[in-house]
Structure 1
Amino acid sequence: MREFTTPLSVAVPTTGNLTDDVVANAREAASTAVFSRPSDDGWVDVTAAEFHDEVRSVAKGLVAAGVGAGDRVALLSKTRYEWTLLDYAIWFAGAVTVPIYETSSAEQIGWILQDSGARAVVAEGPDHLARVREARQSADLVELQHVWSLQDNAVDVLGRLGSDISDELLEQRRTTATPHDLATLIYTSGTTGKPKGCMLTHGNFMFELGVAVDELPELFEGDEASTLLFLPLAHVFARIIQVGCVKSRARMGHSADIKNLVADLQGFRPTFILAVPRVFEKVFNTASQRATADGRGKIFDRAADTAIAYSRALDGKRVPLRLRARHALFDRLVYGKLRQALGGSCAYAVSGGAPLGDRLGHFYRGIGLSVLEGYGLTETTAALTVNLPDAQKVGTVGRPLPGTSVRVGDDGELLFKGGQVFAGYWGDEAATAEAVDRDGWFHTGDVGEVDDEGFVRITGRKKEILVTAGGKNVAPAVLEDRLRAHALVDQCLVVGDGQPFIGALVTIDRETFPGWAEQHGKSGDLAGMLHDPDLVAAVQDAVDDANKAVSQAESIRKFTILPGEWTEEGGQLTPSLKLKRNVVVREARAEIEALYLG
């Protein structure tokens, strides 16, 4: 049983709560721009003093509305400035934030509001309000007393409502919570049943950010440090970056519409970003397809190969002169344009949620964007491990953060212990006891390895390991990650549990397909081309490349191209773009059975 511990390197506060950062910022750096908000005239800065005043105003409104210390207040909105404002206002009022993905169905919203016993909910607009109303009709929401809407000026309404609340009363409420008290209830994606509420305390966040900000000064420190959040703040990954920026005073912006993301990035010019691997895959594939469409496909391919080779050479500490010259050429022709698409100032990116893969990791580092891959779960307040700028192994998720221990169980499962591990599942002691053993080790459900230097590599999900009829254990994530790296492949599902061989279901990327079809002289829609020899051959190339990562017994022998898409709206993907395997397997039962006929 391998075990590795990174010693604690900073003093973690034993008193106070997350609101202390906002108070300290206003007192010590009142005129510092800690946020920027989009407007018709560009990005408008919000100072630490202005944010502090806004948070206090909204918090007083919550107190006046009867929200008590420890009460749950739900947020149902896209990523925007008001989300962060309300999050801290809820904490100032001594209450607990319950994030809900803005794409959630009425049934999902009803379950979270009911299970959490939410006293109030702030929704974004009419569509969200309609789903809350529908949830109220079908769920037992006896605790829910208030529903406010951002588009109906919830911030101003709450500000006026709290005008009679004294500063003394608010300060009493603000300082109620200790590190041991609940800060937020974040519900799991529900890929294996009803979502469970993860109880994260102020202390969980204070531990996590106390060590993470200290370990990553390249991201959070410096006068120009900034990030543009575009992932859902309902996800713990974006949330922890939000709290880290407030703590470190790194300027933060919000971008809610993916259609405007490129323009927002170029206007905001962040120094670092965070994204899930699928975003990095899409950026690479889109750039490749555009280059091919413009007749520069071979140049892009050579540039990509050069970036990867350059990054790999950096691990050896010596880059051959000829490779350096080729890299400098492609930096002018290709890499600079890719960096400019991110705003031109972005040097680092943080990736989490799923494995990024060696090839993409080396590609981005080779073009001048170091992707720091990390690993964590909702139950661990985001990161347990992370690659650092000066301690990085591409293909791993880094070493445990200071004060964190990792252990590999006898069955290969990764177990962790540290101050960021949650307080348990809300109202579910049985599930909590199953997740955290008597010795305090959190069982992640992920299978992995730890090398001699403490770098962790994720190899699959314990519950997703396929066992073929021949008794071969296969981790589908290895194959699926490689398959999705192909420009034509949108999503894929590797199957074969109890079967004689491994198979795959593949969906085609709707953005890259038209360009591919035009280049190959094809006409008609995708549904009519599922058996087109050239399309099948292209997917076969992707399968052949994926199979290089595994043994012959683990390789994909047959695949089927499906006409539809797997989307969050369709219920097949989580908001963080993870595949809901049980949903897809149920919906595609006939296609899976057909793979093994005969």
Structure 2
Amino acid sequence: MSDTQTLIENRPPSVAALFLERVAATPDAEAYRYPVPPAAGAGPDDWKSLSWAQAAERVYAVAAGLIELGVQPEQRVALASSTRVEWILADLGILCAGAATTTVYPQTNADECAFILADSGSKVLIAENAEQLAKVQEKRDELSELTHVVVIDPKDVETGDRVLTLAELETRGAAYLEEHPELIKERVGAITSDQLATLIYTSGTTGRPKGVRLPHDNWSYMAKAIAATGLLSADDVQYLWLPLAHVFGKVLTSGQIEIGHVTAVDGRVDKIIENLPVVQPTYMAAVPRIFEKVYNGVAAKARAGGAAKYKIFQWAAEVAREYAKVTQDNFRRTGSRSVPFGLAVKHRTADALVYAKIREAFGGRLRACISGSAALAPEIGYFFAGAGIHILEGYGLTESSAASFVNPGEAYRTGTVGKPLPGTEVRIADDGEILLRGPGIMQGYHGLPEKTAEVLESDGWFHTGDIGELSPDGYLRITDRKKDLIKTSGGKYIAPAEVEGQFKAVCPYVSNILVHGADRNYCTALIALDEVSLLEWAKENGLEGKPYAEVVAAPATVEMVGKYVGQLNQGLQRWQTIKKFRLLPRDLDVEHGEVTPSLKLKRPVVEREYKHLIDEMYAGTREA
């Protein structure tokens, strides 16, 4: 048996057990960094640290506090908060109490929040602030099983018998631990691998979300499998801003506990650019939308610097892509990253002019980024690779505990999601669907045996709903969601995500694009533009000072986007080309339910909302 197999097969039953091991092994090492905004509200944040021992003191107090409130093993404790260090401490506290965390996005509205709490049977809710508390107070009558609410930020919160602050819970827990000093060790020792650890409700595009049941063993396996990839070490510094209610953010906390590196936690997306030079991470996980935004921002900044500066950027972008493609191809064939002398000279020049500044903006120490949750446009991936920001795409679903595939470090291949994690099996069905089996796969959907049977076979194979292909040496490429594949009235199949990704690499002003064409005789697109980039463009094109909606509607804007659509079409098969498009009056967002909290497009919602624009694009045509 290999060392990797031994590591994975001899895993403990839970991440709670791994956490106790980590605290015992490196009590004084730094575990978490978190920002404390200045009291006056102005100036930079002050970053504080917690060692593993300090984190454990708080985690055990939370666990004991929950036990004192009457929480029993496997009972659900819901967590409705943005990404912050308290989220991680609370989640670990829940796990160390032997209970299970129900994750709730802070953007979830009161109706859906009440449904999740009721469906999960959550006994306690840990809420971030008064806003999250208000959602359950509004629906109190529907939540008979909810006995207490614990509030992290007590501002404007009235505490009482059933509402207490996190600080109060920790105080009560610490006192309870003095009376029962072996409590945590006993609770964690009693956890079995098949015991429920986490309920994550998928943000479905239609109907109510489904609760995905992830037992303790899923996270213990993920922790060991991530460590076994060799991508990370105890010297790494992770910058964690992803929503922890999402499985992608959550899995990163398991890997960190096993490896023991530092994690800087701050979920404020608007602070990413400011935080990167302060945190100076060595690795960071993100969703493709973030890389698209950075790319568009760099392009817009170059354009604002005048024609000469923009020309240099465009040249440097092409050099980066060529360099990345050549080095990756050479590495695959010969194990060497050598490039022709002329390309090496161009790359050095472009590095001095453009790439070095981009790396500096990421903090200057970034070894790699992990990208997941949706497909990254290969041309954007190649650009960053050539600029020295190595984006390792990965793949997984809520139902597979997030990390099923990841690109293998230096041997990464842009446009693929890499190889399976050690211990995960994959096969491609006859219709191209990706099937997975292994210790990361869910137990099933909470209270929905029929829905579980639709995707989970009796022998453990899980139907992902994604279409993909495996290379002879095991790299997976995702082509699309099975249900999203478009079949035109002419019988041609189109993967909309592929066309959409290509457009994002061509047009620096796009935020979201939806390609439509199922059962139609040509393809159309709904396009939403990035407000910041667009308003910069507007300044140079006679539209300065106009509001976003007015700029979007201007003929000059439509003409500008039309040129990029034309550029896209040049690289497509005839049946894939976009014949008509419409610009949306605003960007798509989580609040309107058009994208998920992990920024994935909800196609049915967008198509329903903008049906009038779609109908307009096909008006007067005879559908074959």
- In 1, the alpha carbon distance for the partners of 2:476 and 2:299 equals 31
Q: 1:291 aligns with which of 283, 289, 302?
A: 302
Q: 2:581 aligns with which of 559, 562, 570?
A: 559
Aligned ranges 1:457-468 → 2 under 5 Å: 457-468=477-488
Judge conservation of contact 1:69–1:176 (CA < 8 Å) in 2. Answer: no
Q: Does 1:207 align with 2:221?
A: yes
Name the SS for the 1:390 alignment partner: helix
Aligned ranges 1:275-290 → 2 under 5 Å: 275-290=286-301
Match of residue 143 from structure 1: 145
Judge conservation of contact 1:9–1:402 (CA < 8 Å) in 2. Answer: no
- In 2, the alpha carbon distance for the partners of 1:113 and 1:159 equals 23
Which stretches in structure 1 are left out of the alignment for 5+ residues? 1-6
Larger displacement relative to structure 2 (539-548 or 378-387): 539-548
Q: 1:421 aligns with which of 416, 424, 441?
A: 441
Judge conservation of contact 1:503–1:557 (CA < 8 Å) in 2. Answer: yes
Match of residue 342 from structure 1: 362
Name the SS for the 2:415 alignment partner: coil
Sort the Cα spacing of 1:161 and 1:526 in 2 relative to 1 into closer, same or farther, 3 A. Answer: closer
Judge conservation of contact 2:96–2:184 (CA < 8 Å) in 1. Answer: yes
- In 2, the alpha carbon distance for the partners of 1:10 and 1:30 equals 22
- In 2, the alpha carbon distance for the partners of 1:451 and 1:176 equals 43
Q: 1:521 aligns with which of 524, 530, 542?
A: 542
Q: 2:181 aligns with which of 136, 160, 167?
A: 167
- In 2, the alpha carbon distance for the partners of 1:525 and 1:433 equals 50
Name the SS for the 1:167 alignment partner: coil
- In 1, the alpha carbon distance for the partners of 2:583 and 2:302 equals 25
Residue by residue, what CA displacement relative to the aligned partner does 1:315-374 show, whole Å, maximum 9, x if unpaired? 223311122122122222221211111111111000001111211111111111110001
Sort the Cα spacing of 1:127 and 1:385 in 2 relative to 1 into closer, same or farther, 3 A. Answer: same
Match of residue 4 from structure 1: none
Q: 2:75 aligns with which of 68, 71, 75?
A: 71
What code does the residue aligned with 2:294 have?
Answer: V
Match of residue 160 from structure 2: none
CA RMSD of aligned residues (A): 1.7
Match of residue 54 from structure 2: 50
Name the SS for the 1:113 alignment partner: helix
Aligned ranges 1:30-429 → 2 under 5 Å: 30-39=27-36, 40=38, 42-137=46-141, 140-152=142-154, 154-162=165-173, 163-165=175-177, 166-215=180-229, 217-218=230-231, 220-223=232-235, 225-295=236-306, 296-315=309-328, 316=330, 317-429=337-449
What code does the residue aligned with 1:597 have?
Answer: A
What code does the residue aligned with 1:311 have?
Answer: A
Name the SS for the 1:414 alignment partner: strand
What code does the residue aligned with 1:23 have?
Answer: L
- In 1, the alpha carbon distance for the partners of 2:269 and 2:583 equals 27
Larger displacement relative to structure 2 (544-553 or 184-193): 544-553
Judge conservation of contact 2:8–2:221 (CA < 8 Å) in 1. Answer: no
- In 2, the alpha carbon distance for the partners of 1:549 and 1:359 equals 13
Match of residue 451 from structure 1: 471
**TM-score, L = length of structure 1:** 0.95
- In 1, the alpha carbon distance for the partners of 2:19 and 2:108 equals 30
Residue by residue, what CA displacement relative to the aligned partner does 1:96-125 show, whole Å, maximum 9, x if unpaired? 011100111111101110100000001111
Q: Does 1:576 align with 2:598?
A: yes
Alignment coverage as a number of residue pairs: 587
- In 2, the alpha carbon distance for the partners of 1:269 and 1:68 equals 41
Q: 2:529 aligns with which of 501, 508, 533?
A: 508
- In 2, the alpha carbon distance for the partners of 1:376 and 1:548 equals 33
- In 1, the alpha carbon distance for the partners of 2:551 and 2:322 equals 36
Q: 1:26 aligns with which of 23, 28, 39?
A: 23
How far residue 37 of structure 1 moved from its aligned partner, in angstroms, is 2.1
- In 1, the alpha carbon distance for the partners of 2:596 and 2:294 equals 20
Name the SS for the 2:226 alignment partner: helix
Name the SS for the 1:37 alignment partner: strand
Sort the Cα spacing of 1:8 and 1:172 in 2 relative to 1 into closer, same or farther, 3 A. Answer: closer
- In 2, the alpha carbon distance for the partners of 1:536 and 1:474 equals 25
Match of residue 488 from structure 1: 509
How far residue 273 of structure 1 moved from its aligned partner, in angstroms, is 0.4
RCO (CA 8 Å, sep 6+): is it higher in 1 or 2? 1
- In 2, the alpha carbon distance for the partners of 1:289 and 1:312 equals 24
Name the SS for the 1:11 alignment partner: helix
Larger displacement relative to structure 2 (61-70 or 536-545): 536-545
- In 2, the alpha carbon distance for the partners of 1:389 and 1:73 equals 37
- In 2, the alpha carbon distance for the partners of 1:313 and 1:417 equals 34
- In 1, the alpha carbon distance for the partners of 2:440 and 2:13 equals 16
- In 2, the alpha carbon distance for the partners of 1:541 and 1:418 equals 47
- In 1, the alpha carbon distance for the partners of 2:102 and 2:10 equals 24
Judge conservation of contact 1:114–1:141 (CA < 8 Å) in 2. Answer: yes
Q: Does 1:547 align with 2:569?
A: yes
Residue by residue, what CA displacement relative to the aligned partner does 1:114-162 show, whole Å, maximum 9, x if unpaired? 100000001111111111212325xx21110001110128332112222
Judge conservation of contact 1:460–1:478 (CA < 8 Å) in 2. Answer: yes
What code does the residue aligned with 1:263 have?
Answer: E
How far residue 413 of structure 1 moved from its aligned partner, in angstroms, is 1.0
Residue by residue, what CA displacement relative to the aligned partner does 1:70-96 show, whole Å, maximum 9, x if unpaired? 110011111000000001000111100
How far residue 176 of structure 1 moved from its aligned partner, in angstroms, is 2.0
How far residue 164 of structure 1 moved from its aligned partner, in angstroms, is 2.5
Sort the Cα spacing of 1:541 and 1:438 in 2 relative to 1 into closer, same or farther, 3 A. Answer: farther
Identity %: 38
- In 2, the alpha carbon distance for the partners of 1:167 and 1:482 equals 59
- In 2, the alpha carbon distance for the partners of 1:549 and 1:86 equals 50
Sort the Cα spacing of 1:45 and 1:458 in 2 relative to 1 into closer, same or farther, 3 A. Answer: same
- In 1, the alpha carbon distance for the partners of 2:552 and 2:261 equals 48
Residue by residue, what CA displacement relative to the aligned partner does 1:421-471 show, whole Å, maximum 9, x if unpaired? 111111110011101123321101111111111111111111111221111
Sort the Cα spacing of 1:80 and 1:529 in 2 relative to 1 into closer, same or farther, 3 A. Answer: closer
- In 2, the alpha carbon distance for the partners of 1:595 and 1:176 equals 61
What code does the residue aligned with 2:208 have?
Answer: K
Sort the Cα spacing of 1:549 and 1:73 in 2 relative to 1 into closer, same or farther, 3 A. Answer: farther
- In 1, the alpha carbon distance for the partners of 2:53 and 2:255 equals 18
Residue by residue, what CA displacement relative to the aligned partner does 1:166-225 show, whole Å, maximum 9, x if unpaired? 12233222222121111100110121321111111111112222122110x34x2043x1
- In 2, the alpha carbon distance for the partners of 1:476 and 1:241 equals 30
What code does the residue aligned with 1:331 have?
Answer: D
Larger displacement relative to structure 2 (548-557 or 277-286): 548-557
How far residue 493 of structure 1 moved from its aligned partner, in angstroms, is 1.2
What code does the residue aligned with 2:205 have?
Answer: T
How far residue 242 of structure 1 moved from its aligned partner, in angstroms, is 1.2
Q: Does 1:479 align with 2:506?
A: no
How far residue 529 of structure 1 moved from its aligned partner, in angstroms, is 4.5
Judge conservation of contact 1:14–1:179 (CA < 8 Å) in 2. Answer: no
- In 2, the alpha carbon distance for the partners of 1:15 and 1:205 equals 10
